[in-house]
């Protein structure tokens, strides 16, 4: 019996600047993707952005993935302040918009606790 060599599947990337990587499907079942059926242990070429996120746990990259940029979130100050209303009552006000955050005015000790929790 003559063995037929199959051609590897190549799925086009969603954009020109996407990096195409070689993948292997592991686990049971087939993956139906862009008019192609990817069977278990089948190797194929595709961009990471074009693959469904739900099936990423059943795919193994065979070529090195490009390193993703790490985004560092900076903590932004809350920007709230105590605004005296009179006779020992205070409101908590957003400095940027000037809107009052609390429904009812509070005493100083309650207002400072609430402000610290923000």
- What is the length of the chain? 118
pTM: 0.48
Residue burial 52-88, b: 16+ Cβ < 10 Å; e: rest: eeeeeebbeeeeeeeeeeeeeeeeeeeeeeeeeeeee
Q: Identify whether 21 is part of a domain.
A: yes
Three-class SS state of 58: helix
Report if residue 17 sits inside a domain.
Answer: yes
Residues 57 and 85 in one domain: no
Please give the pLDDT value at position 7: 62
Phi then psi for 85, rounded to 5 degrees? -100, -25
Mean pLDDT split into 10-residue runs, the chain, 118 residues:
63 72 86 83 86 86 74 59 87 87 88 83
Mark whether 51 and 90 lie in a shared domain: no
pLDDT at 74: 46
**pLDDT value at position 14?**
66
Does residue 36 lie within any of the structural domains? yes
Domain that holds residue 97: 80-117
């Amino acid at each position: 019996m003559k063995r037929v060599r199959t051609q590897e599947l190549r799925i086009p990337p969603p954009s020109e600047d996407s990096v195409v990587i070689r993948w292997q499907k592991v686990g049971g079942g087939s993956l139906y993707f862009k008019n192609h059926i990817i069977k278990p242990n089948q190797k194929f070429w595709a961009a990471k952005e074009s693959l469904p996120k739900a099936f990423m746990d059943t795919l193994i990259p065979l070529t090195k993935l490009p390193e993703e940029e790490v985004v560092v979130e900076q903590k932004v100050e809350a920007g709230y302040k105590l605004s005296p209303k009179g006779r020992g009552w205070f409101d908590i006000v957003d400095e940027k918009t000037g809107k009052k955050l609390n429904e009812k005015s509070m005493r100083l000790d309650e207002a400072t606790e609430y402000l610290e929790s923000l």
